[in-house]
Amino acid sequence: MQRNRVILASLAGGAGVAAILSWISVRKLTEPSSPLTQLPAKVEQTAAKKVALIINPSKSQNDQAHAAVKRVCEEAGLEAPLLLETTREDAGQSMARQALEAGCDTILAAGGDGTVRAVAEIIEGTDATLGILPLGTGNLLARNLDIPVDDLGTAALLAVRGEVRRIDVGHLKLQHLNGTEADHAFLVIAGVGTDADLFDDTDETLKKKVGWLAYSEAGLRQLPGHRKKVSFQLSDGNWQTRRVRSVLFANCGKLQGLDFVPDAKLDDGLLDAVVLSPRSAAGWVWIFLKTAFRAKNDIPVLSFYKTKKLSLRCTEPMNTQIDGDPTGMVNNLEVSVNPSALRIRTP
CATH architecture of 51-167: 3-Layer(aba) Sandwich (3.40)
Q: How far is CA 184 from CA 90, 139, 261, 274, in A?
A: 14, 18, 21, 20
The reply to whether 51-167 shares the fold of 10-39+169-340 is no
Sequence ranges of the domains in the chain: 10-39+169-340, 51-167
* Global confidence as pTM: 0.83
pLDDT in tens, 19-74: 444 334 333 333 444 454 566 666 676 899 999 999 999 998 999 999 999 999 99
Which residues are registered as beta bridge partners of 345? 164
Per the model's pLDDT, the better-predicted residue between 222 and 155 turns out to be 155
Query: What pLDDT, on the 0 to 100 scale, is given for residue 262?
Result: 73
- Phi and psi at 58, nearest 5°, equal -80, -15
Mean pLDDT for 138-144 is: 92
Query: What pLDDT, on the 0 to 100 scale, is given for residue 304?
Result: 79
Question: 10-39+169-340 belongs to which CATH class?
Answer: mainly beta
Mean pLDDT for 120-136 is: 97
- H helices present in 77-193, as ranges: 93-101, 113-123, 140-144, 152-161
Percent of the chain with pLDDT over 90: 61
- Which of 36-40, 206-210, 278-282 ranks highest by mean pLDDT? 278-282
Query: What pLDDT, on the 0 to 100 scale, is given for residue 327?
Result: 94
Query: What pLDDT, on the 0 to 100 scale, is given for residue 157?
Result: 97
Per the model's pLDDT, the better-predicted residue between 241 and 21 turns out to be 241
Per the model's pLDDT, the better-predicted residue between 298 and 317 turns out to be 317
